[in-house]
Amino acid sequence: MNFEIKPMALAQAAKEKCDALIVLVSQDFKAGKDELSGLVAQALKSADLESKAGKLLTLYRAPQSHAVRVVLAATGDGTARSVRTAVLAAVAAAKSASLKKMVLCFAMPAREDAVRAAVLAAADATYAYTLTKSQPEPRTVQKIILTASNASELQTAFDRAVATVSGVELAKEWANRPANHATPTLLAQAAQELAEVPKFSCEVLGPKEVAELGMGAFMAVAQGSEQALRFVVLRYSGAAKSHAPTVLVGKGITFDSGGISLKPAPEMDEMKFDMSGAASVLGVFRALALLKPAINVVGLIPACENLPSGRAVKPGDVVTSMSGQTIEVLNTDAEGRMILCDALTYAERFKPRAVIDIATLTGACMIALGGVRSGLFSTHDALATALLEAGELSQDACWRMPLDEEYAEGLKTSFADVANVAGRAGGAITAAKFLQRFAEKYAWAHLDIAGTAWKTGTSKGASGRPVGLLVEYLVQQAHAK
């Protein structure tokens, strides 16, 4: 889909020929002398258009506009959250088979965060998954023009939003794919394709190379599947070699049956999205290719399936991680932390400025935070603060959770250095405490996206989170150097 931004006030936007004109009207709206402004003012005065964010008034072939459909969409106080609500509602109301060109017009001068919210919401509302359908219904919208009287001041924010959309949609695509269309090998190929541009490189390690590295925890999870594991090392070199990179580690379980500790059958199909952390890393790298920030970034993706078989790791088995620490596998369904711990050890070789792992790690985090905020765990206050701020700016919010040492008590075992699970209480925290053992040599943060990476119900599918948060964080870090 093609996005464009133009410096236009409402009167000019009304003259743009399009299938739908969405007018974003804040509570501070002041009417100009043009006919469409007068119509908006009249609708507000008569309360046919309420000022609450998301309230709509839809018109067909209104004489005040050259658009086929005009949707007046209230944005309330004009904040990014309110604008997102308004755009999602308006695009849903304007959708039709003939909707190919759409204009999003801010009726008042726009803010940068509101522009980003509008672009991301419009993309989200028009997204369509098509890969495995015999008669797909692709996205009909081919072009979205965003207009505002102060558009010249908004170009940077707009460009960042468009790049983020590209990354989010790649993450959605891979997380939505069925597991037989998103094997570890196919995921690695997607990473290699991303690296076919300047400043990017990709190395893919197979079972032999992973064994030579001593990644016993990763190999233990993978050994029950016929699909060979892959360990992906993506690099973006946007700064001098002397600049330490930020390392992103994405959990790449391309299907999670639970292994020998088999999951219940209901909704097991959704376990194809257990590689959403890996998908988000791919999405971030696509955005980096468009934005080209002056920063170095490494992406690590341990990818495999977690299946039961005669070769699968068993509860009670003890394996040796790349760090040399031994792990008692009490539950084979706690596999994400097993593949991540070896990747976190591998990350040490880059002497990173920070390491952030991203994983659909625990159902406990879903219980704690639902689908609104991702769980954030960190041993480094400055890193945690930067991620929290990036989440708020990008409308991809997270919430910091505790890492008190007492939470690690449940991971003690008589048969290894550490167990891979503790009790039910504080499950998201004890999982993070497990990972913390392997991330002591650098600034580290863990994002548990189990509740935010996937949407259920009528909108079932991948969300593309937390690509927005990570892109915002990396751009901010590039500017802060």
**Is 60 a residue whose pLDDT tops 80?**
yes
Query: How far apart (Å, rounded) are the C-alpha atoms in residues 454 and 271?
Result: 10
Confidence of residue 390 (pLDDT cuts 50, 70, 90): very high
Look at residue 160 and tell me if it is in a domain: no
Give a three-class secondary structure readout of 62-86: CCCCCEEEEEEEECCCCCHHHHHHH
Number of folded domains that form the chain:
2
Task: For residues 270 and 366, give the distance between their C-alpha atoms in angstroms, rounded to a whole number.
Answer: 15
| Residue percentage of the chain with pLDDT more than 90 | 97
The H-assigned helical ranges of 127-178 are 155-176
CA distances from 214 to 220, 225, 300, 319, 343 (A): 11, 19, 16, 10, 11
458 and 340 part of one domain = yes
Residues 333, 240 share a domain: yes
Residues 10 and 82 in one domain: yes
Assess whether 178 and 125 both reside in one domain.
no
Residue 317 has pLDDT above 70, yes or no: yes
**pLDDT per residue as tens digits for the range 3-52:** 999 999 999 999 999 999 999 999 999 999 999 999 999 999 999 999 99
Position 218 in a domain: yes
* Separation between Cα atoms, residue 358 and residue 342, nearest integer Å: 14
Looking at the structure, do residues 391 and 449 belong to the same domain, yes or no? yes
Decide if 427 is inside a domain: yes
At residue 480 the predicted structure's pLDDT band, cuts being 50, 70 and 90, is confident
**One domain, residues 338 and 395:** yes
Position 481 pLDDT exceeds 70? no
- Domain boundary among the residues 108, 123, 150 is at 150
245 and 371 together in one domain: yes
- Total-model pTM: 0.97
More confident residue, 417 or 457: 417
Average pLDDT, the chain: 97
Predicted local confidence at residue 457, as pLDDT: 82
Q: Is residue 161 part of a domain?
A: no
pLDDT class for 271, splitting at 50, 70, 90? very high
pLDDT at 182 over 80: yes
For residue 158, tell me if it sits in a domain.
no
**What DSSP character marks residue 415?**
S
| Stretch 157-171: mean pLDDT | 98
Same domain, 281 and 214: yes
Would you call 306 exposed, middle or buried from its count of C-beta atoms within 10 A (0-12, 13-18, 19+)? buried
Task: Looking at the structure, tell me whether residues 242 and 370 fall in a common domain.
Answer: yes
Q: Assess whether 145 and 174 both reside in one domain.
A: no
| Residues 344 and 434 sit within 8 Å (Cβ to Cβ) | no
Mean pLDDT of 261-266: 96
d(CA 467, CA 461): 15
Mean pLDDT of the 316-328 span: 98
- 444 and 376 inside one domain: yes
Is residue 87 domain-resident? Answer: yes
The fraction of the chain above a pLDDT of 70, given in percent, is: 100
State yes or no: pLDDT of 209 exceeds 80: yes
* Active-site amino acid positions: 263, 337
Residue 431 forms beta bridges with which residues? none
Query: Is a pLDDT exceeding 90 seen at residue 97?
Result: no
Residues 122-138 pLDDT 10s: 999 999 999 999 999 89
| Assigned domain for 159 exists | no
Query: Average pLDDT, stretch 93-104?
Result: 93
Structural domain that includes position 179: 167-480
Q: By C-alpha distance, which of 321, 165, 470 is closest to 478?
A: 470
For residue 213, give the CATH number of its domain. 3.40.630.10
Last residue of a domain, one of 150, 178, 207: 150
Average pLDDT over residues 100-110: 97
Please identify, among 150, 183, 199, the residue that sits at the C-terminal boundary of a domain. 150
Q: Is residue 157 part of a domain?
A: no
The CATH number linked to 12 is: 3.40.220.10
Residues 418-445 pLDDT 10s: 999 999 999 999 999 999 999 999 999 9
In this predicted structure, what is the pLDDT of residue 441? 98
A 10 A CB-CB count for 325 gives 17
Same domain, 327 and 413: yes
pLDDT in tens, 281-298: 999 999 999 999 999 999
